[in-house]
Amino acid sequence: MSVFTYVIEHDLGFAPNPFHGACTLACCKPVIRKTVKLGDIILGMGAVKPNLSGRLCYWMRVDEILTFDEYWSDARFRRKKPVMNGTTFLRYGDNIYHSNRSGVYCQEYSFHSLENGEISLGDLHRDTGRTDRVLISHEFAYWGRRGIQMPDELKHFAIRSSGHKRNFEKVEVAALMAWLGQHPERGYLGEPAHWQFLDTPKRRRKKKA
C-alpha cells in the first residue's frame, strides 16, 4: 500500500468530490490518478488560504478505478454529473468526461468549462491527456474547512508545496494508519473549505481545482 499526499489548492467539492456517498477523484491530479493502485491511500492537505496549511482536509482509500466512460455510464454516479443551475453540491459534480463516437473526449458544462459554458481545452487536456482513470472511494473522511491538525510525528505527510509526495517508509505508513484509526468519523463531515469565499450561491468562477 502506498500513500500519496498533496495540497488541495481549490477545495470546492470538485476534486475531490465527496458527495452522494462516495469520494471521487475524476479531474485534476493526473499523475496521481495514473499511478495509484487499489488499496492505496490519498491525503488531501489544506491550503494556506483559509489558514488550513498543515491540516488534513480529507483522506480516501482507493476502492475502485474506472475509466471516464465507465464512470459516465455507471448509474451509481449519475448524481455526480454537474447541474449548473442546481444547488452548490450539484454544480461541482465531477462526472464530466465521456468519449463520442469518434473516441474523442467530450467535456460537459461544468466547473472546468469556461464561464460561457464552452469547453476549456486546457482543463480537458490536463484531465484526460495522461490518463482516463477515475478513482472511487467508499472508505473516506472529508472534513473540508474543518480540517484536522496532523500531529508532529506525522508532519512529513503534511506537505505545503505543489505537486505530490509518496514513497513513505512502511513504519511511517503504519503510524499514519494508526492515527487515522483514532478518528473513526467517515463520509462527508464538513463543507468544502473554499465555499466560504463564493460571492453568491450561483457563482461559477473559472479556477483550477
Q: How far is 144 from 185, CA to CA, in rounded Å?
A: 13
Model pLDDT for residues 131-165, shown as the tens digit of each residue: 999 999 999 999 999 999 999 999 999 887 778 99
In Å, what is the CA distance from 85 to each residue of 88, 89, 90? 9, 11, 8
Mean pLDDT of the 200-207 span: 43
Taking the CB of residue 115, how many other CB atoms lie within 10 A of it? Answer: 9
Model pLDDT for residues 191-203, shown as the tens digit of each residue: 999 998 887 544 4
The pLDDT score that the predictor gives to residue 115 is: 82
Which segment, 76-80, 99-103, 205-209, is predicted with the most confidence on average?
76-80
The pLDDT score that the predictor gives to residue 177 is: 96
Q: What are the residues whose beta carbons fall under 8 Å from the beta carbon of 21, sequence distance 6 or more?
A: 138, 187
Q: How far is 102 from 140, CA to CA, in rounded Å?
A: 36
Residue with cell string 473549505 = 193
The pLDDT score that the predictor gives to residue 209 is: 41
* In the chain, % of residues over pLDDT 90: 77
Q: Measured between alpha carbons, how far apart are the two ends of the chain, in Å?
A: 26
Q: Please report, for the chain, the start and end positions of each structural domain, with discontinuous segments joined by +.
A: 3-197
For residue 208, pLDDT over 60 is answered with no
Taking the CB of residue 45, how many other CB atoms lie within 10 A of it? Answer: 25
Tell me the three-class secondary structure of the chain, residue by residue. Answer: CCEEEEECCCCCCCCCECCCCCEEECCCCHHHHHHCCCCCEEEEEECCCCCCECEEEEEEECCEEEEHHHHHHCHHHHHHCCCCCCCHHHHCCCCCEEECCCCCEEECCCCCCCCCCCCCHHHHHHHHCCCCEEEEECEEEECHHHCEECCHHHHHHCCCCCCEECCCCHHHHHHHHHHHHCCCCCEECCCCHHHHHCCCCCCCCCCCC
Query: What predicted TM-score, i.e. pTM, was given to this entire model?
Result: 0.90
